Amino acid sequence: MDFTLSPELSDLQARVRAFVADEIVPFEHDPRCTPHGPDEDLRAELIAKGRKAGLLSSHVSPEFGGLGLGHMAKAVFFEEAGYSPLGPVALNIAAPDEGNMHLLEAIATPAQKERWLRPLAAGEIRSCFCMTEPPPGAGADPGMLQTVAIRDGDDYVIDGRKWFITGAEGAAVAIIMAKLSDGPATMFLADMTSPGIVIERAMGSLDSCFPGGHGVVRFEGLRVPAENVLGEAGEGFRYAQVRLSPARLTHCMRWLGAARRAHDIACAHARARHAFGKPLGEHEGVGFMLADNEMDLHVTRLAIWHCAWVLDQGVLGKHESSIAKVISSEALWRVVDRSVQVLGGQGVTHETVVARIFADMRAFRIYDGPSEVHRWSIARRILRGDKPRPQEH
């Protein structure tokens, strides 16, 4: 594996880095940044900047207005975008829209792509992915799915309740996971203005980086035309892996940029701040934390780039993405936690962006499956004696 960046990718990295620093970072203290993410007015302003820079929806094919980047290129691009909490929003690669666009491009019909993917890729609308349910429904175990879709003539009628639905408030379209009367899970597309969709409430949460925050959504007799089934009926869980495995990796890419930002701020503070007669960073207790940060960032980047390289070969499975997700989420959490410690009192205020990154980052160990579920999955593979593919050596 050769991870040397091509001249073209190096130039793109520099463009994104400059764009985020010059155009996006100044918005981080904008009053339109709310506890439930940037409001729609701010999102539209940021999207306009990304569009003007020619950097919008980099993961989508040029047919739908994107750059058509492969996974290795996305690893570089998304890390630079994640350097600001607003970067992924401005470049239209934030969750859940990024994963939803990937899924739509992979399995939607031409008519569905024109109706929903094209405006999503243009940043004109937002979306949500409705799978997680309150107890006793689906969470880390998708097999506990309770939302039901019953065929009624040319329609399906959907009833159920979802929660922790990122971006539900303000979304134009939902991808809904429901089980059919005979059991198989199926994905459906529905406009969020459809009768039968009720947003019960917004959920307060630690993070504040996702437009629309997280909501509780109820479906009451929601009628969805059969033509709005996404992919084939009964294949919902298979399609979920089409979406979730790459989305785990893109989460890692974006959060790597955020952790690097926290580390950079901590390093600058450790150089400038003096205590007990010398710069803070020259005290071993602080210097060792910065060294550990460098090592965690390095290992995380290698894990991400390895999986991105394998995915570009078309062979990445959920186990590889699970490994990368656990390594990344836990190493990057350590980086941000140490950065808060190095900053001392500054680290727990909003004088810098580090406290915000700290709050946002904590949820990463839970999003797209908690670390414990991924470890369980990895352990099952080990105990089965599964052989690693040649690319894994």
Listed by start position, the domains of the chain span 7-94, 127-231, 237-392
Residues in the chain: 393
**Integer angstrom CA distances of residue 208 from 181, 205, 212, 256, 348:** 38, 7, 9, 17, 16
pTM value is: 0.94
Amino acid at site 103? L
- Cβ density class 78-87: b for 16+ within 10 Å, e for less: bbbbbbbbbb
Average pLDDT over residues 229-242: 94
Q: 101 pLDDT exceeds 60?
A: yes
- Rounded-to-integer distance, Cα 370 and Cα 374, Å: 7
Indicate the pLDDT class of residue 392, thresholds 50, 70 and 90: very low
Averaged over 237-250, what is the pLDDT? 90
Percent of the chain with pLDDT over 70: 97
CA 33 to chain centre: 18
Coil, strand or helix at 273? coil
Averaged pLDDT for residues 63-68: 97
Residue 148 has pLDDT above 80, yes or no: yes
Q: What is the pLDDT of residue 391?
A: 43
pLDDT digits (tens, 9 = 90+) for 6-23: 999 999 999 999 999 999
Find how far residue 268's CA is from the centre of its chain.
Answer: 28
Single-letter residue type at 64: F
Give mean pLDDT, residues 355-376. Answer: 94
CATH topology of domain 7-94: Butyryl-Coa Dehydrogenase, subunit A; domain 1 (1.10.540)
Tokens of 256: 């790597």
Report pLDDT digits (tens) over 264-291: 999 999 999 999 999 999 999 999 999 9
**127-231 has which CATH code?**
2.40.110.10
Per-residue pLDDT for 102 more than 90?
yes
Strands 148-152 and 173-180: parallel
Q: How far is residue 31's CA from residue 52's CA, in Å, rounded to a whole number? A: 23
Identical fold for domains 127-231 and 237-392, yes or no, is: no
- How confident is the model over 47-62, as pLDDT tens digits? 999 999 999 999 999 9
Which stretches of the chain are DSSP H helices? 7-19, 40-52, 71-81, 87-90, 97-107, 110-112, 118-121, 236-272, 284-312, 318-343, 354-362, 371-384
Helix (H) or strand (E) holding 123: none
Averaged over 341-356, what is the pLDDT?
97
At residue 3, the pLDDT reads: 83
Please give the share of the chain, as a percent, with pLDDT higher than 90.
Answer: 89
* Long-range CB contacts for residues 143-147, cutoff 8 Å, separation at least 24: 145/177, 145/178, 145/179, 145/185, 146/179, 147/176, 147/177, 147/178, 147/179, 147/219
For all residues of the chain together, what is the average pLDDT? Answer: 95
CATH number belonging to domain 237-392: 1.20.140.10
CA distances from 316 to 321, 384, 390 (A): 7, 19, 12
